[in-house]
């Protein structure tokens, strides 16, 4: 029988919530710049898990993620590819990969403003959880390194100490995040009306809508509009956001892909 894993992992003792309060943070484009799964793919490429054409596909999806925000079809496509590539990796392999990805690629991409918000909640005695479609192993590393309470993430099935390439449950995305947070609230005795949630994506509106204090961070167009209509706070930590957007629109697709391609090719090592 496959080994069962839970969707949430506590990385530090769960403190008694301040009046049943807690804060929940999305990861991609909310806590960090870009998509964490893309950086996992880069690290797997270093280890020879897939080919250069597959790397180009990941690069294109990362470009689209930065350009237009989160898209459910792209999320599912990356998930399916990553799962197939992870098949056969051991638990120890993925744990080490998560640590390397954080040190080499994620730490420098953490938004200082979002980190400061999380730290403020901790100082007020509120547990802080990450809620992300990112693999739970990587989400747990991020949570641990930042001193947060724990993480909820997508869980891969393990058999005999290795990943099978299948999921336990569904990808933690969209409405699934709301379900997972409700489960944490029930187990920890939280009052969701006194909780906070932070995200950049309109896909997380179900999560944001279920808490008393929803906050949009670096929002996509649809979430920005929704936040304004509902008087939600909006924080944008992207410096020169409008200029950057215009620059992306003016750039050729070939030029943008070249930059991402170099992100992969620099890890290929010397040619023979």
What residues act catalytically?
26, 28
- Rounded Cα distance between 116 and 146, Å, is 11
Neighbours of 231 (CB within 10 A): 7
- Rounded Cα distance between 80 and 85, Å, is 9
End-to-end Cα spacing for the chain:
45
- Rounded Cα distance between 261 and 147, Å, is 33
Go through the chain and tell me how many residues it has: 272
| Residue that the structure tokens 């049943």 belong to | 20
- Rounded Cα distance between 209 and 193, Å, is 10
| Residue that the structure tokens 């990112």 belong to | 134
Burial class (CB in 10 A: 0-12, 13-18, 19+), 171: buried
Phi and psi for 152 in degrees, rounded to 5?
Answer: -115, 125
* Contact between 12 and 151 (Cβ < 8 Å): no
* Contact between 193 and 22 (Cβ < 8 Å): no
């Amino acid at each position: 029988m496959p080994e069962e894993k839970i969707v949430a992992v506590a990385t530090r003792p769960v403190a008694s919530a301040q009046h049943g309060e807690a804060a929940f943070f999305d990861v991609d484009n909310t806590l960090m710049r870009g998509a964490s799964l893309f950086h996992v793919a880069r690290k797997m490429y270093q280890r020879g898990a897939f080919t250069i054409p597959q790397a180009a596909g990941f690069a294109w999806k990362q470009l689209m993620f930065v350009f237009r925000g989160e898209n459910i079809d792209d999320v599912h496509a990356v998930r399916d590819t990553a799962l197939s590539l992870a098949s056969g990796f051991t638990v120890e392999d993925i744990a080490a990969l998560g640590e390397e990805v954080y040190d080499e690629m994620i730490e420098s991409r953490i938004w200082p403003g979002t980190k400061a918000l999380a730290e403020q909640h901790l100082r007020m005695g509120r547990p802080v959880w990450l809620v992300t479609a990112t693999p739970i192993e990587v989400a747990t590393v991020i949570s641990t390194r930042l001193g947060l309470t724990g993480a909820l993430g997508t869980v891969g099935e393990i058999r005999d100490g290795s990943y099978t390439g299948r999921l336990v449950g569904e990808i933690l995305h969209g409405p699934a995040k709301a379900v997972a947070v409700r489960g944490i609230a029930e187990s920890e005795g939280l009052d969701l009306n006194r909780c906070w949630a932070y995200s950049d994506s309109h896909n997380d509106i179900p999560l944001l809508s279920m808490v008393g204090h929803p906050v949009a961070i670096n929002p996509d167009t649809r979430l920005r509009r929704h936040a304004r209509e509902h008087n939600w706070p909006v924080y944008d930590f992207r410096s020169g956001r409008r200029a950057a957007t215009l620059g992306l629109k003016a750039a050729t697709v070939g030029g943008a892909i070249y930059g991402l391609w170099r992100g992969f090719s620099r890890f290929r090592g010397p040619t023979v």
